[in-house]
C-alpha cells in the first residue's frame, strides 16, 4: 500500500509537469508555423547581410568561411563535400528541418556546442523567421512558407520607410548598414568606434582583418563604402568617440 501510494502521490506532479511540457512544446511548434506563415523573405534578405560575410546562398556559390547555403532547408547537416566542418556539426547529424534550423540560428553554439560558427544567434523571432523564408527561396524546391511575394514586397517597402534603424554605437550615416553588417559578425562595433584613423590606416586595418583575422576578402565596391564611412565618421579627430 505504502509504495503505491507514494508513487501515486509522486506521479501527480510529474504527470502535471509532463502535460505542461507537452503543451509548451506544441505551443512552441505552433508559433514556428505561425511565424513562418507571416515571414517575409524580402526582409530576410536584409537579415542575411549578417551571414554574407561567411556564406553565399546562390546555387553553386563558393564556400567562404562557412559553406554555401543553397537549398539548406531539409539538406543533410554538414553535407557540402567541399567544406571542412567541425566534428561537432558532423556529429549533430540529421538534416536541417525548419525546427532545427530555427533553433540553430537562434543560438548556434548553444545548439551545437563546439561548432565553428562562432556568431551570436539571431534572437529576434520575427527576424529569424524572415531569414528562414529567405533561405527557403534560395532552393530548387522552396517549401510553401512565408507571405505571398507581392504582399511581402509591399510590407518590406513600408517597413523600410519607417524602420527604426539600429546600428548599436555606430553613427547612422551613409554606408552604416553595410559597415555594420560586414564588421560586426566577429566583434562588437565597440572595437571599431573607439578607434580614430585616417582612410589610409583604416585601409591597412582592413587588410589586417582579412589577412590575419579570417575576414572574407571585400569586393572593391564594399571596401569603398566601408572606407568612406569610416573615414567620414571615425577619423583621427574622433568626431564620434563614444561618450561615457
Distance between CA 135 and CA 61 in Å, rounded?
14
The least CB distance from residue 244 to ligand HEC, in Å, is: 19
Between 154 and 216, name the residue whose CB sits nearer to ligand HEC: 216
Closest CA to 190 of 121, 235, 240, 123: 240
Q: How far is CA 233 from the centre of its chain?
A: 26
Between 11 and 90, name the residue whose CB sits nearer to ligand HEC: 90
The least CB distance from residue 3 to ligand HEC, in Å, is: 48
Distance between CA 52 and CA 185 in Å, rounded?
10
Could you give phi then psi for residue 158, rounded to 5 degrees?
-60, -40
In the structure grid, which three cell numbers stand for residue 155, read together? 510590407
Between 104 and 156, name the residue whose CB sits nearer to ligand HEC: 104
The least CB distance from residue 198 to ligand HEC, in Å, is: 13
CB distance 175 to 225 below 8 Å: yes
For ligand HEC, the binding residues (CB under 6 A) are 50-51, 53-55, 65-67, 69, 72, 77-80, 85-86, 88-89, 96, 105, 115-117, 119, 122, 131, 182-183, 185-187, 191-192, 195, 205-206, 209, 213-215, 226
Distance between CA 71 and CA 52 in Å, rounded?
16
Distance between CA 215 and CA 217 in Å, rounded?
6
The least CB distance from residue 221 to ligand HEC, in Å, is: 13
Which single residue is written with the C-alpha cell 563614444?
242
Between 105 and 152, name the residue whose CB sits nearer to ligand HEC: 105
Between 23 and 110, name the residue whose CB sits nearer to ligand HEC: 110
The least CB distance from residue 222 to ligand HEC, in Å, is: 9
The least CB distance from residue 219 to ligand HEC, in Å, is: 12
Sign for the CA dihedral angle at 110, 98, 21, 88 comes to: negative
In the structure grid, which three cell numbers stand for residue 13, read together? 506532479
Which single residue is written with the C-alpha cell 501515486?
8
Between 21 and 191, name the residue whose CB sits nearer to ligand HEC: 191
Amino acid at each position: 500500500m505504502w509504495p503505491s501510494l507514494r508513487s501515486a502521490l509522486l506521479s501527480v506532479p510529474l504527470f502535471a509537469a509532463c502535460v505542461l511540457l507537452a503543451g509548451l512544446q506544441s505551443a512552441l511548434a505552433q508559433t514556428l508555423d505561425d511565424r513562418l506563415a507571416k515571414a517575409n523573405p524580402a526582409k530576410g534578405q536584409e537579415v542575411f547581410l549578417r551571414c554574407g560575410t561567411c556564406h553565399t546562398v546562390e546555387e553553386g556559390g563558393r564556400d567562404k568561411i562557412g559553406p554555401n547555403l543553397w537549398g539548406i532547408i531539409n539538406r543533410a547537416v554538414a553535407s557540402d563535400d567541399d567544406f571542412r566542418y567541425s566534428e561537432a556539426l558532423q556529429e549533430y547529424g540529421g538534416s536541417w528541418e525548419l525546427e532545427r534550423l530555427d533553433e540553430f540560428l537562434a543560438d548556434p553554439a548553444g545548439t551545437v556546442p563546439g561548432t565553428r560558427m562562432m556568431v551570436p544567434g539571431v534572437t529576434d523571432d520575427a527576424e529569424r523567421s524572415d531569414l528562414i523564408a529567405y533561405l527557403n527561396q534560395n532552393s530548387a524546391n522552396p517549401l510553401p512558407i512565408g507571405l505571398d511575394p507581392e504582399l511581402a514586397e509591399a510590407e518590406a517597402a513600408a517597413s523600410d520607410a519607417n524602420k527604426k534603424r539600429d546600428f548599436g554605437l555606430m553613427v547612422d550615416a551613409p554606408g552604416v548598414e553595410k559597415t555594420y553588417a560586414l564588421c560586426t559578425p566577429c566583434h562588437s562595433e565597440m572595437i571599431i568606434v573607439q578607434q580614430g584613423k585616417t582612410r589610409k590606416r583604416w585601409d591597412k586595418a582592413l587588410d589586417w582583418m582579412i589577412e590575419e583575422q579570417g575576414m572574407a576578402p571585400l569586393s572593391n565596391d564594399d571596401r569603398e563604402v566601408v572606407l568612406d564611412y569610416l573615414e567620414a565618421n571615425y577619423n583621427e579627430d574622433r568626431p564620434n568617440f563614444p561618450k561615457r
